[in-house]
Chains A and B, each alone.
Chain A
Amino acid sequence: MRVLNILAGAIAVATLGGCSTSQSALVPRGEQAERINTLFWVMTSGGAVILVLVCVLAAIAIFGSASLRRRLSGEALVKGLGIALPVLVLTLLLTYGFLVLRAGAVPEGTQTNMRIAVSGELWWWRVTYTDASGTRVETANEIHLPVGRPVTLELTTADVIHSLWAPNLAGKLDMIPGRTNELTVTATEAGVTRGQCAEYCGGAHAFMSFHVVAQPPEEFEAWLAQEASPADPVEDPQLLRGQELFLNTGCGGCHAVRGTAATGSIGPDLTHVGSRRSLAAGTLPNTAEAIAAFIVNNQHIKPENKMPEYALFSDEELGDLSAYLESLR
């Protein structure tokens, strides 16, 4: 029996170890997540010590000799381990928690940090950067961060309460209507991790994910410059046909492609949609086929999202349109 239990425990640990590290609070890739990780292990180890202590005392109470049991029943033990110890442990833990998480402290450099506005919308993330020249650059469903530099995320919502949670980076923070919550994060390691909405926000809540792309500062600057640039003019006849469809059939009423007449601000900015890591907030892979599927069938893929189904294109037109969007890199 005991062997079996140990085996089950070992399997559980192995399975947990197999969990993807791209969305895990136990694999910190940011300073804030590291603190949470430290606190987690301190609490878990402390809890384990206390559990062992309780088990030992329980064993003594059941199997121990009469003299040991008599000592256990004394009032001193109840006062010591039952009252004094919890008060001490909990006070220490609380203080330690406050200190580690720097509760109430204004994060250093909040005024001077780079700021990225992230707005939760049904059901995607509007991410707006402000580059060195003060130009606002809008993109969606991806938060790019320069490694080693603290960045303040300004969290707002366009509709209901959402919650931004990138576990590898920091704890979750709600996005509340009428408020701007600030979350300062510092990526410590380059790489792509994943986050998602952590507050139920309606039917397609589960399809509201994003990627966090931590890049070395130079790479980040290059990326931001590319993101800030308008879409390249298209020349290929197929892409031209796709662009014409995009501009003539109303796509530009909701979506912007900077550098063209499409200036809509209701849905995600598509200026460089082809370069993103996913489509529809982590719902689909970013391929021309997936783009075509979403245009025609989006209410099935992501029910009740605000985009109407565009079933008015022929197969050929749909191919042109999705090829055009995929080419926007």
Chain B
Amino acid sequence: MPEDKIVKDRRLTRWQRIGVASLLVLAAFMMGGVIFVASGVYNIGADRDHWSVTNLIITILRDRSIAAAAGDVKAPPLDDPDLYLLGEQHYVGGCATCHGTPGQPLNPIYRNMLPNPPDLTGAFSHYSAEELFWIVKNGLKFTGMPAWAGEGRSDEVWSVVAYLKQLHQTPLSGETRPEPTLPRQQEVRGLGTLPLENCVRCHGDAQTGPVSALVPTLQNLPQAYLKRALEEYRAGTRPSGIMEPVAYEMTDAEIEKLAEYYTGLPVEAPTDIAPGPLLEQGRRIAESGVPEHDLPACNSCHNGSSPQIPTLAGQSARYIANQLQLWRQPDYRDTPPYGSLMASIAQRVSEDDALAVGAYYASQPAGGTAPP
């Protein structure tokens, strides 16, 4: 009688038996996994590489994730000196710490990172421009690669991607770029060389102009405005992946001195732009605005009478147009009260108008106060 009962209880169908067996196997694997993770057997030390199977899985996961995420990115033209020359300087100031000088061995400290920061000379042979953009903008988990510091500053990210493209296209001569020349008088003023070097690398000084037309000419701007801009970058309220880290290092005294130093330099000469309909359009917008688009005259604020409001004369056309474009981007949030005010006005500037007004101001000599 008891035997009969047991036989009856074990009468499972074939599929049920397979199901039970699978569950048992799964449970065993899970137990094994928990024991493996909890035991501390896996060596997390950076001095030993991953198992090759771990490496394989991570690599596939990484590249699939990048490819999927970069699908809707659209690259601007990258063979653009204004982009890659700026990107190069950011590379020097930001990326080179870990990634080293392209084509040269890494600093031993970073060589011992796992994964160690790759030599980016070959970045373009592994990834497309869009994928590299995504990597630079978003960073990579568990690798030490940070996301871009300035929110909404895709324009800056593209400059780095453009530089990586140059690295790939132009074989390195083995020669490193010339070191920026530092003005000697600064040592007398008692300012540390690093903050100044960080400025001069991109913005130039009395001898050299800015490295790229996307970079403002600081000597043409008012001192109070320069000071405020650096403070906003330092506080992280004015987004820029290039300027925020540079300003982060500065003390109040350094900000004061740098603003003073740049305002003291002789102003840069205006860009020579042939008179034509573009300049005329720009002049009209600067002086009278575009009332039918609710756009007030630029000069109603940018007339040199308030030290907090930058004068625009002698500034690069591209820099002005790029700033106007930035304010129109929904993901770019500028600082109240000044930046946010300008952001609301920039919504009314069409792309054409931005180019025209940029060209107009670029052709104007700095220092002269434009009529209100």
Contacts and interface: CB of A to CB of B under 8 A. Distances in A.
Nearest to B338: A312
Contact of B300 (A253, A308, A310, A312): A253
B339 to A, nearest CB: 11
A253 B297 contact: yes
B340 A249 contact: no
Nearest to A248: B305
A253 B289 contact: yes
A312 B297 contact: no
Contacts of B294: 254, 266, 306
Contacts, number: 53
A250 interface: yes
Given A247-B372, A250-B301, A253-B296, A312 B291 contact: no
B274 to A, nearest CB: 29
A199 to B, nearest CB: 21
A109 B303 CA distance: 49
B287 to A, nearest CB: 11
Interface size band for B = 20 to 34
A249 B344 contact: no
A66 interface: no
Interface in B314-372: 336-338, 340-341, 344-345, 372
A250 B300 contact: yes
A248 B295 CA distance: 17
B372 A261 contact: yes
A108 to B, nearest CB: 36
A107 interface: no
Nearest to B344: A308
Contacts of B295: 266
Contacts of B372: 247-248, 252, 261
Contact of B301 (A249, A261, A265): A249
By CB atoms of chain A within 10 A, which of B309, B338, B372 has the most? Answer: B372
A1 interface: no
Contact of A308 (B297, B306, B341): B341
A308 B296 CA distance: 12
B281 interface: no
Contacts of B338: 312
A261 B370 CA distance: 13
Those 5 A-B pairs whose CB atoms lie nearest each other, nearest first: A253-B296, A253-B300, A250-B301, A311-B337, A312-B337
Given A311-B337, A312-B341, 13 more contacts: A247-B372, A248-B305, A251-B300, A253-B300, A253-B301, A254-B300, A264-B296, A264-B297, A306-B294, A308-B344, A308-B345, A311-B341, A312-B337
Interface of A: 247-254, 261, 264-266, 306, 308-312
23 contacts: A247-B372, A248-B303, A249-B309, A250-B296, A250-B301, A250-B309, A251-B300, A253-B296, A253-B297, A253-B301, A261-B372, A264-B297, A264-B300, A266-B294, A266-B295, A308-B341, A308-B345, A309-B336, A309-B341, A310-B341, A311-B337, A312-B337, A312-B338
